[in-house]
Amino acid sequence: MASNFLGLFGKKKEEVLAPQASPTLSAPVEEAKPKSPPSGLIGLPQGRKRVTQRLSLKGLQESGKIAPDPTKIQLPSAVAPARAVPEPVEVDGTVDIPFSIILNSIPEQLLVADHATLLVHPEVMVQIGLPLSHVLSMLPSGKLEFSLSDLVGAIPAGFVQPLENIPDYAQTPISLPLAEVFRRIPPHLLALRSDQRPVDAAVKNMVDPFSKEALEKAQAVAKEKAVEADTQFAVEAEPAPELNPEPIPELVMEESVPEYAPIPEYRAPSFEAPVEPDFDPVMLAEAEAALAAVEARKAGVELPDVYDPILPPPPAYSATYQQEEAHQETPISEPSAEANAWAFPVSGQAEEAAADSEPEMDPALVEWARKMAQEESAAQSGEPQLSEPELPPYGEEETNLGNDLNSSLAQEEAVDPDDVVPPPTPAPGAFEVNKIGMFDALNAPTRPIRKPKNQPQPPEIKGFGSFNIVEKSQEIVTPVPSYTDPSALPEEFDQATPELEPEPEDSTQMEPVGSINFSAPASSAPLLSPRIRLSPTINRYLSLDENAEISFADVMNHVRRWPGVSGCVITGKDGLPISAVVDDVLFSKSLSAFAPKIVARVSELFVDLGMPEVQEIHVPMDDVSTFLFREADVYFILLYKEASLPQWYRKVIKAVLEEIATRHK
Amino acid sequence: MAFINYSKREIQLKIVYYGCALCGKTTNLIKLHSGINSTQKGELVSLATDADRTLFFDFLSLSTQTLPGFDTRFQLYTVPGQPVYNTTRQLVLKGVDGIVFVVDSHWDKMEENVESFANLQENLIENHLSMAQIPYVIQYNKRDIENPAPLEYLEFTFNNRATQSLTFEASAYTGEGVLDTLNGVARLLLAKYSKSAGNKATKQ
């Protein structure tokens, strides 16, 4: 039987024991010497010849399994000129590989013994010649396969079970190691087709769009843009307190706070609503002073090293601090002389300080300091404060014009007139009184920064942005009714249902829902994830024991047991599944990946239409309908066999999802 | 198809990294994202499974100035390599301008490489395109592994078509050859659209 297949292969050189480095394409065909089979192996039948004729491509096609595509490979001839019309080239010869390589590729159940036993036999070093034309035709497929029946005819007998014993495996493709075969193929046979059009020279010579030079150029441009932005920011953020004595309008925050107060309360009811703390005037003053210090440092004023530009520095607690503590009770709008004493040295001291730090001091700042010192000394002596230069008496403007011009020119050198902001004019009927009060309060940079003893700490903001910081003791458990009994549902759940559910009562025709359907998984039931106590509320929703520790997987398994439900997935907004119970794992991942995008996209379109955001999407289908639920960043996908979802399914899912979403935050 | 936004003076070109599963397509984009200046790139969007297998596609936007007066924005996509995601691959290939076919140099992956290359041709046909129309380059990735498939074999298998394509040896894990590959396909695209722009100008 195998004699026909023996012809498919080339010679078999039994005497060569060492692997041959270079292939022999035209070795003489010699008859194999009869050999005694290895002990325990089946030998060749008497009179059987081992080596016969050479392989032809037609014969391979007839073998049924290997159908090389002659059009895929068009080998050029060695002497073919460039761009010649390709012609199929007949390649004669074989590629010789050791029999041990083939033996290793044959599954062990087809051999008469295991690999280890057979590989110690000396006959495994026999070279088997594989037809080169067939090998070359198989190369572009990325694999090199022969049917078992083909191989049996070429390899020594006694290694593979007789095909009569394994008829079902006769056409089993045996994949030979491509690397071992390829390195024995003559390199000239692997030349590319000669009629191949080369790559366009314009493409080769083009400058790389993402070359190093281009990257460096882009980086330089980015740096320039960054420097411009910094410069612009520095100009915009020019320190105002020195030159603009009334920067109040930008800081009137208390009046704008009520605009943000009515934030919709869609968070869980068991947590406190975010509390916006009242601004403490003392804290506000300290912050303002720290801001002034930062800006002064930006302007070039050298501050002591201990002076932290970011945080207010700890004040030097003087011996008279206890006495000064009484001043804390003084309204900030009326700063006392002692309170102002720290700000800048008065009169001569100011000049000394200015002289000491003259190289770094900004002239405008020195001028402002000098003026402030004069005001403070005037306040100490009981004279009225002069916050503006004295105007000449009426009628003397012309006579004093030259002096005023000089003084104004001197001012212009220090003060940019564009930066001078006129004092705010309160609108008629506006919060004039409050603004004045706020102005006084915010005019407190000249107030010393003190840290009084036992100063009450500002209340810690809890429950703002993250519910996880709320202590357990603060949690308020909202009583939640059980939804297993439809009659116990709140009235709002029985309101008009979407038009997608015209007849929710049809579900009553289904299998009645009892405690058996909704019982929690038994303790012996396998769990997909470790049990944790998600929430007693969820347990109540699902009619489970409040103290039962369940996981997301338990919730999913529970929902999956509902009549008609063929799968459910819970996922986050990133599309990665949190838990899923769907028969097709890949489909569950696809669902979880697409659901947030679908809901987000539909919701976006609805918002564009002036409608509220979409929280549910029902997609009725003939076989299995899909229902998408969304709560915050958590999505629930339910696969249900009917086009309309029973009302109580929806209610329980929404309630559970809401609870999970709250916890998920 | 290239999208030209004249108001923004911007050309958008879509490049898809194609190849068999785990051949290094996403790694290519990660290396590009980390190696290119922040002003030229957008965020790398990657939707992967827990095992870092691409679920749908990765996306990276790179911009540069190549044509005078226009910003060229290259939108790089990868496809999931697993055979089951063929529909996703077809979707990602819609409107493709250039392709980088990533070949895994492991001997054991050769069959998958070939199947992926055939799948690429089939999916292009599904999108009414062909390999002859779409500029593509071939990246022989993972050249740093032990005993990689020799270049002669890879060229014989993947670059033996009527028109020779640009090929690049690379190791996306180390970043070697990644930028060269991108430059190669970008050059092909720019040459193609420069020619077409020139032809239109001549006709007008």
Return the residue matching tokens 């991108």: B182
Q: Which two tokens stand for residue A120?
A: 């110690």
Give A183's contacts in chain B (Cβ within 8 Å).
Answer: 150
- Chain A residues with CB within 8 Å of chain B CB: 73, 139-143, 177-179, 182-183, 187, 190, 192-193, 195-200, 202-203, 206, 208-211, 214-215, 218-219, 221-222, 225, 575-576, 586, 589-590, 593
Region class of A637: left (phi > 0), else alpha (psi between -120 and 50), else beta: beta
Q: Do A140 and B114 count as a contact with CB atoms less than 8 A apart?
A: yes
CB-CB: which of A143, A206, A209 is closest to B111?
A: A143
CB-CB: which of B84, B162, B182 is closest to A196?
A: B162
Q: CB under 8 Å to B154, separation ≥6 — which residues?
A: B103, B105, B138, B140, B167
Beta strands of A302-435 (E only): which ranges?
none
Q: Is B30 on the interface with A (CB under 8 A)?
A: no
Condensed to tens digits (0 to 9), the pLDDT of residues B88-145 reads 899 889 999 999 999 999 999 999 999 999 999 999 999 999 998 899 999 999 999 9
CB-CB: which of B49, B149, B187 is closest to A203?
A: B187
Higher pLDDT, A58 or A330: A330
List A631's β-bridge partners, or say none: A634
Give residue A528's Cα distance to chain centre.
25
User: Scanning every residue of chain A, which has its alpha carbon at the shortest distance from the alpha carbon of B88?
Assistant: A590
Condensed to tens digits (0 to 9), the pLDDT of residues A422-475 reads 544 444 444 433 333 344 444 444 444 454 455 455 444 443 433 333 344 444
CA distance B1 to A252: 54
Phi, psi of B11 (to 5 degrees): -115, 130
Residue A118 pLDDT > 50: yes
User: What's the pTM value of the predicted model, to 2 decimals?
Assistant: 0.45
Domains in chain B, ordered, with CATH? 3-193 (3.40.50.300)
Phi, psi of A655 (to 5 degrees): -65, -45
Condensed to tens digits (0 to 9), the pLDDT of residues A337-389 reads 444 434 444 444 545 444 444 445 667 777 777 777 777 666 666 544 444 44
CA distance B180 to B137: 11
Confidence of residue A232 (pLDDT cuts 50, 70, 90): low
Predicted local confidence at residue A261, as pLDDT: 54
Q: Is B190 on the interface with A (CB under 8 A)?
A: yes
**Angle subtended by helix axes B178-203 and B25-35, to nearest 10:** 80
Higher pLDDT, A64 or A214: A214
Q: Do A196 and B107 count as a contact with CB atoms less than 8 A apart?
A: no
Q: What is the DSSP letter of A21?
A: S
Q: Give the pairing type, strands B71-78 and A625-631.
A: unpaired
Q: How many residues does chain B have?
A: 204
Q: Is B51 on the interface with A (CB under 8 A)?
A: no
Cβ-based contacts under 8 A for chains A and B? 110
Q: Which two tokens stand for residue A598?
A: 């679908």
ipTM over cut 0.85: no
Q: Is B107 on the interface with A (CB under 8 A)?
A: yes
Condensed to tens digits (0 to 9), the pLDDT of residues A62-87 reads 333 334 344 333 333 333 333 333 34
